[in-house]
């Protein structure tokens, strides 16, 4: 089934009887060439690019719940490539380029909206740091612009510029950044992968790995053993738990992160805004709700829910930035599980077990990485070599001390 304007009109006139399911519901086969574990954005994108770019035909994706039940359907939908370090910036810019063509590529409306992001500046030192970041962005082709206070006042008059404690002194803008409909991204990749023969198997939890003579033979699941020559693990906040089944201890902590949505308001927020004096970021959904978030929970957890002190902290950030938010009613909030690494950067690498590969440690920001992470992980699974933009994301950087510490805060997951 192909989506087009013509198809929408035809279905509207014929009672919407011609829509078909977006993917099949196959039973697992006894064995596959490649198994991808985790039906989040990254796992689905990996399966999609494996089939589309690398010609893999015998691939299964195993998901313990349903597609989109993890972080891919729980995040605040921000996409951007405004990074500083050479290990990160080209990778996120590659991702941004894939976002820009995603809907044409998958023939699915994932509502990619390049409405821009502004990082607000509150001190002279922060201006220096953001100017440096902007230069790095321009060198990789990401584009960047410094904004003056008068420009910002025009753009976002509702922001508290004269807050005595956090005065606003300017902003760094990436016009190509924005938002995408998060579960629409999962569905688009799932449909594209399924069309190319990938078996998407939901309600199939991986419960163990079969390894013999240092080589992976397949996985035990809630639906029986499934053999595979190669297994790629892409389970985000559950990385520690799943890799423990293969005897690996990761440099990762899992924490809950919450997201919030207000009641629908008239169009107010021009794009994505981040508060530079605390941890608060906000955009507005197409339905009008203000979508915002802040810090992770301070304790380690595998529960997809957070606690009230962080709710209070996030809302304090919101009130300091834009006091008018205090008049909006909070409609809903939820939590997801983020896999925080010790340097704040991801891992896409082989493991010590032949045929077992890992993609994870996406911290606060793996949604924007979804296309590039899927592409790079598919590249690694298909060719056994890292993708050009992901060569810095190996496990060995923690042994060698070549960490990619974007924020410069050391091994403190709560600060990344
Ligand atoms: C509240 C919140 C806000 C966020 N905001 C942003 C943002 O604005 N921008 C951004 O870039 N990033 C954001 N992130 C981060 C981003 O959502 C994640 O980094 C990214 O979604 C992780 O990759 P994923 O989509 O593959 O994860 P998931 O969707 O979590 O996929 C992993 C899947 O693995 C499955 N799984 C786990 N264990 C097993 C098993 N044993 N067997 C089979 N399947 C298993 C899970 O059920 C899950 O579906 C946010 C995260 C949260 C929680």
pLDDT per position as a tens digit, 16-31 = 999 999 999 999 999 9
User: Among 71, 224, 234, which residue has the most ligand 1 atoms within 8 Å of its CB, making it the best to mutate?
Assistant: 71
Tell whether ligand 1 has an atom less than 6 A from the beta carbon of residue 63. Answer: yes
From ligand 1's centre to the CA of 184, what distance in Å? 14
User: 285-289, 360-364, 411-415: which has the minimum mean pLDDT?
Assistant: 411-415
Provide the 8-state DSSP code for 389.
G
Residue 334 CA: nearest ligand 1 atom is 1
The pLDDT confidence band at residue 414, using thresholds 50, 70 and 90, is confident
Tell whether ligand 1 has an atom less than 6 A from the beta carbon of residue 134. Answer: no
Third-level CATH fold of 115-176+253-341: D-Amino Acid Oxidase; Chain A, domain 2 (3.30.9)
Please check the confidence at residue 345 and state whether its pLDDT lies above 90.
Answer: yes
Please check the confidence at residue 351 and state whether its pLDDT lies above 90.
Answer: yes
Q: Nearest Cα to 229, choosing from 28, 380, 31, 48?
A: 31
Residue 66 CA: nearest ligand 1 atom is 49
Tell whether ligand 1 has an atom less than 6 A from the beta carbon of residue 156. Answer: no
Phi, psi of 20, deg, nearest 5:
-115, 160
Residue 281 CA: nearest ligand 1 atom is 8
Interatomic CA distance for residues 288 and 117, integer angstroms: 17
Give 159-193 pLDDT, tens digit per residue.
999 998 999 999 999 999 999 999 999 999 999 99
Q: Where are the CATH 3.30.9.10 domain residues in the chain?
A: 115-176+253-341
From ligand 1's centre to the CA of 254, what distance in Å? 11
Q: Where are the CATH 3.50.50.60 domain residues in the chain?
A: 27-78+182-251+344-415
Give 65-86 pLDDT, tens digit per residue.
999 999 999 999 999 999 999 9
The pLDDT confidence band at residue 1, using thresholds 50, 70 and 90, is confident
Residue 207 CA: nearest ligand 1 atom is 41
- Helix or strand (DSSP H, E) at 127: helix 124-139
Tell whether ligand 1 has an atom less than 6 A from the beta carbon of residue 219. Answer: no
Tell whether ligand 1 has an atom less than 6 A from the beta carbon of residue 372. Answer: no
Third-level CATH fold of 27-78+182-251+344-415: FAD/NAD(P)-binding domain (3.50.50)
Tell whether ligand 1 has an atom less than 6 A from the beta carbon of residue 293. Answer: yes
Please check the confidence at residue 36 and state whether its pLDDT lies above 90.
Answer: yes
- 120 DSSP β-pair partners: 171
Interatomic CA distance for residues 292 and 274, integer angstroms: 10
Tell whether ligand 1 has an atom less than 6 A from the beta carbon of residue 336. Answer: yes
């Amino acid at each position: 089934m192909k989506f087009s304007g013509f198809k929408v009109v035809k279905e509207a006139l014929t009672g919407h009887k011609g829509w078909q399911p977006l993917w099949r519901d196959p039973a697992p086969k006894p064995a596959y060439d490649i198994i991808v574990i985790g039906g989040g954005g990254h796992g689905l994108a990996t399966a999609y690019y494996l089939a589309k770019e690398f010609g893999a035909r015998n691939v299964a994706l195993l998901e313990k719940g349903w597609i989109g039940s993890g972080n891919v359907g729980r995040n605040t939908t921000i996409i951007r490539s405004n990074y500083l370090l050479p290990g990160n910036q080209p990778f996120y810019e590659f991702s941004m380029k894939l976002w820009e063509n995603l809907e044409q590529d998958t023939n699915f409306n994932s509502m990619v909206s390049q409405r821009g992001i502004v990082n607000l500046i509150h001190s002279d030192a922060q201006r220096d740091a953001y100017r440096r970041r902007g230069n790095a962005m321009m060198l990789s082709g990401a584009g960047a612009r410094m904004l003056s206070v008068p420009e910002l006042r025009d753009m976002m008059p509702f922001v508290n510029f004269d807050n005595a404690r956090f005065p606003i002194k300017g902003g760094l803008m990436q016009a190509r950044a924005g938002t995408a409909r998060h579960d629409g991204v999962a569905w688009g990749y799932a449909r594209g992968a399924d069309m190319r023969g990938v078996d998407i198997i939901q309600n199939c939890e991986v419960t163990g790995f079969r390894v013999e003579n240092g080589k992976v033979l397949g996985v035990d699941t809630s639906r029986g053993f499934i053999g595979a020559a190669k297994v790629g693990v892409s389970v985000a906040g559950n990385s520690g738990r799943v890799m423990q089944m293969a005897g690996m201890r990761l440099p990762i902590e899992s924490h809950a992160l919450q997201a919030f949505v207000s009641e629908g308001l008239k169009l107010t927020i021009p794009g994505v805004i981040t508060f530079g004096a605390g941890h608060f970021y906000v955009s507005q959904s197409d339905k009008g709700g203000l979508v915002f978030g802040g810090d992770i929970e301070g304790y380690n957890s595998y529960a997809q829910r957070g606690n009230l002190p962080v709710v209070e902290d996030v809302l304090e950030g919101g009130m300091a930035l834009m006091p008018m938010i205090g008049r909006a009613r909070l409609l809903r909030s939820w939590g997801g599980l983020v896999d925080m690494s010790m340097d704040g950067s991801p891992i896409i690498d082989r493991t010590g077990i032949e045929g077992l590969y890992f993609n994870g440690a996406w911290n606060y920001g793996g949604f924007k990485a979804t296309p590039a992470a899927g592409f790079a992980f598919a590249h690694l699974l298909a060719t056994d070599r890292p993708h050009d933009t992901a060569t810095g994301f190996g496990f060995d950087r923690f042994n060698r001390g070549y960490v990619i510490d974007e924020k410069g805060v050391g091994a403190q997951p709560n600060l990344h």
